[in-house]
Structure 1
Amino acid sequence: MKYQVLAEACQELEETSSYLDKNTIISDLLKKTPAEKLEMVVPLVLGRVFPAYVSQETGIGLQQLKKAVGKATGYSKDKIEDLMEELGDLGKVTEKLTEEKKQTTLAEETLTVEKVFQNLRKLPEITGEGSVDRKISTVSKLLTAASPVEGKFVVRTVLGDLRIGVAEGRLRDAIAEAYDVPPEEVEHAYMLTTDYGKVAKATAEEGEEGLTDLDLTVGHPVNPMLAQRAEEGIEEVLERVEGKAAFETKLDGIRIQPHKKKDEIFLFTRRMEDYTHMFPDLEDAVRESIKPNKAIVDGELVAINKETGKPMPFQEVLRRRRKYDIEDVAEEIPVHIYLFDVLLSGEKTMIKETYSERRKELDKIVDPGEKIKIVEQQILEDPEEIKALRNEAISRGHEGLLAKNLDSTYRAGRREFAWLKLKAEVETLDLAVVGAFAGKGDRAGTCGSYLLAARDKETDELKTVSKVGSGFTDEELENLTKKFEKLKLGEKPSNVDSEIDPDYWFKPQEVFEINYEEIQESPSEAHTSGYGLRFPRYVKTREDLDVSSADTLEDVERLFKKQEKRKSGES
């Protein structure tokens, strides 16, 4: 399949902002694609060559990529830098230079999807002496064979940002449209496989039946089931669960999904990242505690205070996320996994079983040890007992309780009222970071405040809700400025709806937890969500969340209505 077909579709996607038009463009591309090529085309439409759960870096940065562009086009470093200053996007620079190409001879070989996909997948494997030059040469050869529009999207793929406004959520509707299958079935299959390429191929080959045949695979993370806020407290919980539920302590850690296949162990986060190598001290513990040769379980990774044996705050877990000196930090900050659910037990898929049945299976297949525990639960129906249990959990430094409907199935990737969060009274929002404002005075040289947005579930757009500049320590401001330097964009991201123009735009990837005094209605020229926050304050960076899990406009509206109802009751 010619890469030109894919590149031209990406060009169309870049030029349209209509949700329906984007779906049609992707759908038409899928129909043109042979089924056996879909597992290459779909990732490339998302700007990558590995599934989201595969932690692979190309090892070729912006400066090396500029050298590859120069080598392919014959233009100098100074010329490329000047154009970068003007256009702010190396993809557009490549397109322009390819059009003006000094080298008049082009490679006879047509650039294909396979050639681009396979060569970019090879980049992480190129190691050792001279590896940087060999990586530059690999990309340069692709660019030498590329047309202007092909070159633009090859470069953007290497950078991991196509700038066409297509996130994974949009693939659901496009696949459904292309193959005339229910979008709910497409979404369910994705939640189980975390791979829209695999989903598209199965649908193209066998339609809806192909979707239903897709199942859990050890080593492929499953989108975890999520809890909804209990807006009205204990009374709402009991009403939604028909009077009785299982109550578990809500731990302050990182959601973790251990997989076991004989001796092979994987540890996946809620963001589908493979953290196995970061926690080598847990591999033997998981292997020994989980009895079946094949299993997928769900839990929370919690840092433990060596002296007291008690759980430590979430931020301490993050200190274990590092590439170097892992064993030293493991000794300094031990971690435990607290398990609370099972998705696969041996050959038995458990997600369609009730919570009660899954809990029985979890108790049967897990042999708790020093580092692997099972979360304690109590089945309660008395409001006073629930309140006492929540207060006890909060007094021990936990976030509160999770209430789980005894008859609920495991709804992968869904945030539903089958699981409900009963937290402390202070409400917070998890909002996507889309931009920042340069610091002044004591904050000069850092990002002094950030622009935050909520997610529109219908369109996948991010609509602004607040700016936040308080709650940060000096150290946090410095660290966040370094972190976001890698995410800076030259223009507003295509999926961000904002009337505010910050000093810097970011690739929407990170999520801040924010508390506030009040939610207020806001004119759209101020915040495009229609809401703003009074006295917002930074709590922490939600390292366990990606933007697809950020709070939605619906969440903000629901909290606003709850707040207004409470205020009217007080008056």
Structure 2
Amino acid sequence: MKYKVLAQACQELEKTSAYLEKNKIISNLLKDTPSEKLEMVVPLLLGRVFPAYVSRETGIGLQQLKKAVGRSTGYSEKEINKLMEELGDLGRVAEKLTEEKKQMTLADETLTVEKVFQNLRKLPRITGEGSVDRKIATVSKLLTSSDPVEGKFIVRTILGDLRIGVAEGRLRDAIAEAFDVPAETVEHAYMLTTDYGKVAKAAAEEGERGLSKLDLSAGHPVNPMLAQRSENIQEVLERMGGEAAFEIKLDGIRIQPHKRGEDFFLFTRRMEDYTHMFPDLEKPAGKSIKPDKAIIDGELVAINKDTGKPMPFQEVLRRRRKYDIRDVAEEIPVQIHLFDVLLSGETTMIEKPYTERRKELEKIIEPGERIKLVEHRILGDPQEIRKFRTEALSMGHEGLIAKNPNSTYRAGRREFAWLKIKAEAETLDLVVVGAFAGKGDRAGTFGSHLLAARQPETEKLKTVSRVGSGFSDEELEKLTEKFEELRVGGKPSNVDSEIDPDYWFKPQEVFEINYEEIQKSPSEAHTSGYGLRFPRFVDIREDLNASSADTVEDIDRLFKEQEKRKP
């Protein structure tokens, strides 16, 4: 399949903002794509070459890409930078310069989807001495073979932002339309596989029957179900019909242990593979999880070895960043506290009610020193619930999670079937989309950051706040180094902002922010309609990504509850 077909479809998608028209373009492309190529075409439509659960970067940044564009077109870095200032998008720069190539090259073979896909996938594997030059040469070769439109979308794919307004929700509807299957069935298949490429291929080859064959697979992460916030116990009982299952809410990082025969895996909420970072858990988990195949849901908690009490989740992340894993395992011991089961042996559990899943969990787990079961109680008396929450807090935990006893496991969804009741001041998890240059003592760093919340229905990130306090000098330096790698030439297509920061970032990192108050903000200030009074940086949430950040709806609900409390 020619890459030109995909690039031209992307060009059409970029030109239209109409939802139904975009769906038609994607649907027609999928129908015209051979089924065996769908697992390449679908990720490329999302601007990536690895599934969402594979945390692998190409390892080639904006400056290296500029060199590749220059090498393939004959233009100098100075000329490219000047055009970047004018166009604000390296993809458009590549398109324009390819149209006006200074140097002639011998015609190369026609670009195919497979050639582009495989070459971009091999970029992370190019390592060692001279790896940067070899990566630039690989990209340059693709660009030399490309026409202007192809070059634009190759560059944008490497940058991770196609600017065509296609996200996973839109793909669901387009797959449903292309292969005449219900959108709900497509979404359910994606919940199980976390891979729209596989879903599209199954739908293309066997329709609904093919989708029904897709199932959970140990060793392949699943998007976890998430909890909504709750203001008080009374609200919980009203939503749950007078009674709920209450579990202790731990201050750790969400973890998904998988067992497949002798193999053991640990996946985070971002679906990153943390297995090699916690080798001390492999034997205890293999012993505690009885079935040969299982997918469990739980929390990874750092434990103070002197007191036996849980430590803040940042300690787990601190251990993750250490290089001498064996030594730090002694310094910061960890435990896994399990609270749900998705797969037990050959039985998929997610469609079964919570009470049945809990019974199965207790049946298949043999608790030990490192593997625990989260304590839970079925309660309907507010006095008993408050007592349980006090107990949880006294043990060093965050509070309680309430779960509807009849609820199924809704993978990848934030549902009111699960409600968290925390005791501490509320914080927000917001996506970092840009930054402002530091001044004075902060010169040379990103002195403050522009933050945004998700709006799922439009698949946009709406600005909420600018934060410049709460950072230590050391944190600012580390964050500047981290975000330098995420800089992009212009505002990302999924960011809705009236504020123009000094730098734009690929929107993938999340800050935890506390604040004094949520305020109504005029749309010209923050596009979410809200702002934060005295925002303060708490931490970078390395366990979250942009798709897990708080939504505008979350902020709206917190604002309304805040206003109710005012005299």
User: Normalising by structure 2, what TM-score?
Assistant: 0.94
- Give the 3 Å change call, closer, same or farther, for CA 305–174 of structure 1 in structure 2: same
TM-superposition CA deviations, 1:448-475 (whole Å, max 9, x none): 2222222112111111222222333333
Mapped to 2, the partners of 1:501 and 1:128 lie a distance apart of: 38
Residue pairs, 1:441-456, within 5 angstroms? 441-456=440-455
Range with greater deviation from structure 2 (500-509 or 423-432): 423-432
Give the CA deviation at 1:139.
2.7
1:91 maps to which residue? 91
Range with greater deviation from structure 2 (274-283 or 101-110): 101-110
TM-superposition CA deviations, 1:66-99 (whole Å, max 9, x none): 4443443344555445545554544333323322
Give the CA deviation at 1:332.
2.2
CA contact (8 A) 2:163 2:494 kept: no
Residue pairs, 1:12-411, within 5 angstroms? 12-84=12-84, 87-127=87-127, 131-231=131-231, 233-322=232-321, 324-411=323-410
Range with greater deviation from structure 2 (205-214 or 350-359): 205-214
TM-superposition CA deviations, 1:86-126 (whole Å, max 9, x none): 54544333323322223434435211101111222233344
Mapped to 2, the partners of 1:274 and 1:402 lie a distance apart of: 26
TM-superposition CA deviations, 1:503-540 (whole Å, max 9, x none): 22222112222222322222211222222222222222
Give the CA deviation at 1:204.
1.8
CA contact (8 A) 1:509 1:547 kept: yes
Mapped to 2, the partners of 1:88 and 1:525 lie a distance apart of: 22
2:426 maps to which residue? 427
Mapped to 2, the partners of 1:325 and 1:92 lie a distance apart of: 44
Secondary structure, counterpart of 1:298 in structure 2: strand
2:457 maps to which residue? 458
CA contact (8 A) 1:165 1:493 kept: no
Range with greater deviation from structure 2 (289-298 or 276-285): 276-285
Mapped to 2, the partners of 1:66 and 1:530 lie a distance apart of: 37
Give the CA deviation at 1:308.
1.6
Mapped to 2, the partners of 1:50 and 1:364 lie a distance apart of: 36
Give the CA deviation at 1:554.
1.7
1:522 maps to which residue? 521
Mapped to 2, the partners of 1:402 and 1:76 lie a distance apart of: 58
- Give the 3 Å change call, closer, same or farther, for CA 107–330 of structure 1 in structure 2: farther
1:4 maps to which residue? 4
Query: Structure 2: where are the runs of 5+ without partners?
Result: none
Mapped to 2, the partners of 1:124 and 1:284 lie a distance apart of: 31
Is it true that 1:552 corresponds to 2:551 in the alignment? yes
Mapped to 2, the partners of 1:512 and 1:138 lie a distance apart of: 35
TM-superposition CA deviations, 1:413-432 (whole Å, max 9, x none): 11112111011152222222
Secondary structure, counterpart of 2:264 in structure 1: strand
Mapped to 1, the partners of 2:563 and 2:81 lie a distance apart of: 53
Give the CA deviation at 1:336.
1.3
- Give the 3 Å change call, closer, same or farther, for CA 453–394 of structure 1 in structure 2: same
**Could you tell me the percent identity over the aligned residues?**
80
1:565 maps to which residue? 564
Give the CA deviation at 1:241.
1.8
Mapped to 1, the partners of 2:160 and 2:216 lie a distance apart of: 27
- Give the 3 Å change call, closer, same or farther, for CA 78–519 of structure 1 in structure 2: closer
2:489 maps to which residue? 490
Is it true that 1:481 corresponds to 2:480 in the alignment? yes
CA contact (8 A) 1:19 1:459 kept: no
Give the CA deviation at 1:161.
3.1
User: Normalising by structure 1, what TM-score?
Assistant: 0.93
Mapped to 1, the partners of 2:455 and 2:81 lie a distance apart of: 37
Mapped to 1, the partners of 2:465 and 2:126 lie a distance apart of: 44
Counterpart of 2:144, as a letter, is T
TM-superposition CA deviations, 1:28-67 (whole Å, max 9, x none): 3222212221100011111221112123333444454444
- Give the 3 Å change call, closer, same or farther, for CA 331–96 of structure 1 in structure 2: farther
Secondary structure, counterpart of 2:321 in structure 1: coil
Secondary structure, counterpart of 2:320 in structure 1: coil
- Give the 3 Å change call, closer, same or farther, for CA 65–442 of structure 1 in structure 2: closer
Mapped to 1, the partners of 2:14 and 2:193 lie a distance apart of: 28
CA contact (8 A) 1:468 1:536 kept: yes
Counterpart of 1:305, as a letter, is N
Mapped to 2, the partners of 1:531 and 1:482 lie a distance apart of: 29
Mapped to 1, the partners of 2:484 and 2:106 lie a distance apart of: 36
Range with greater deviation from structure 2 (248-257 or 147-156): 147-156
Is it true that 1:535 corresponds to 2:528 in the alignment? no
Counterpart of 2:187, as a letter, is E
Mapped to 2, the partners of 1:489 and 1:141 lie a distance apart of: 22
